[in-house]
Amino acid sequence: MARAPDPRIEQAKAMYLEGEKLVEIASQLNLPEGTVRRWKCTHKWDNERSDKKNERSRKRKRGAQPKNQNAVGNNGGAPEQNKNAEKFGFFSKYLPEETVSIIQEMPTDPLDVLWDQIQIAYAAIIRAQQIMYVRDRDDKTIEKIEEKDGNVIGERWEVQHAWDKQGKFLQAQARAQSELRSLIKQYDELLHKRWDLASDEQKARIDVLRAKVEDKEDKQIHITFTKASEGHGG
């Protein structure tokens, strides 16, 4: 038995023929934009789109479109999650579809944006431990970087000794850690400015960060210096 067609197809089609953009339709129907785009191609909506769509689009009232059940009971027009439709419509004119999809998934709260940056920066530092790992003082890398043919035949090789690789790694790590500390500081400052508006989860994040820092500070390192003569009993 054939499966009944999705009723949202006709709803999306009607909105498209009224001049709505695909990204706006997807937002209002809570669908991936790729799904709406596939429906448009499969059912050949462009063939039915009126030549007067631009004129009708300009005259179209703001708010919910015909048959849009998402706006039922919302006197202000489109529901809360659809307020960004106009912005995404602007982006879709100039940005690739993949970029617009990423923007739609991005957080809008400044604290959440900062927290994502902190996590990405921290993950990059951890990942660098594997990529830039130096085994020991004899860990040497030899790599061919150029090979010439024809009248001039030759090769160029690059040699990286352990101390070269370790030095570059320490410099890169220091810069990354400095940036991470700066992001954490920005998060802490912004959190206290918006304390009454912050969620419990946003407040708990900084508590976890503080606990980790305090735990490291409590672990003191004791170093004892001994004269060479004392070490040999002289």
- Average pLDDT over all residues of the chain: 75
In contact, 111 and 131? CB cutoff 8 Å: no
Q: Under 8 Å CB-to-CB from 95, ≥6 apart: which residues?
A: 103
Residue 152 has pLDDT above 90, yes or no: no
Measured CA distances, 168 to 69, 80, 132, 176, 181 (Å): 58, 49, 9, 12, 20
Nearest alpha carbon to residue 184 among 211, 164, 166: 211
| Residue that the structure tokens 């085994």 belong to | 135
The pLDDT value given to residue 113: 92
The pLDDT value given to residue 150: 67
The pLDDT value given to residue 20: 82
Residue 88 has pLDDT above 70, yes or no: no
Percentage of the chain modeled with pLDDT above 90: 12
Residue 167 has pLDDT above 50, yes or no: yes
Query: How far is 141 from 96, CA to CA, in rounded Å?
Result: 40
User: What tens digit of pLDDT does each residue of 22-65 get?
Assistant: 878 888 888 877 788 878 877 777 777 644 444 555 555 455 55
* DSSP string across the chain: -PPPPPHHHHHHHHHHHTT--HHHHHHHHT--HHHHHHHHHHTTGGGG--TTHHHHHHHSPSSPPTT-GGGTT-TTSS-GGGTTHHHHHHHHHHS-HHHHHHHHHS--SHHHHHHHHHHHHHHHHHHHHHHT---STT--EEEEEEEE-TTS-EEEEEEE-HHHHHHHHHHHHHHHHHHHHHHHHHHHHHHHHTTTTS-HHHHHHHHHHHHHHHHHHHS--------HHHHTT-
Nearest alpha carbon to residue 78 among 13, 20, 122, 124: 20
Query: How far is 66 from 64, CA to CA, in rounded Å?
Result: 7
Nearest alpha carbon to residue 24 among 50, 52, 59, 62: 62
For the ranges 9-13, 38-42, 150-154, 226-230, which has the lowest average pLDDT?
A: 226-230
User: What tens digit of pLDDT does each residue of 90-110 get?
Assistant: 777 788 888 888 888 888 889
In contact, 72 and 16? CB cutoff 8 Å: no
Query: How far is 134 from 167, CA to CA, in rounded Å?
Result: 10
Between 58 and 143, residue with greater pLDDT: 143
Backbone phi and psi for residue 107, each to the nearest 5 degrees, phi listed first: -70, 155
Q: Which residues pair with 147 in a beta bridge?
A: 155
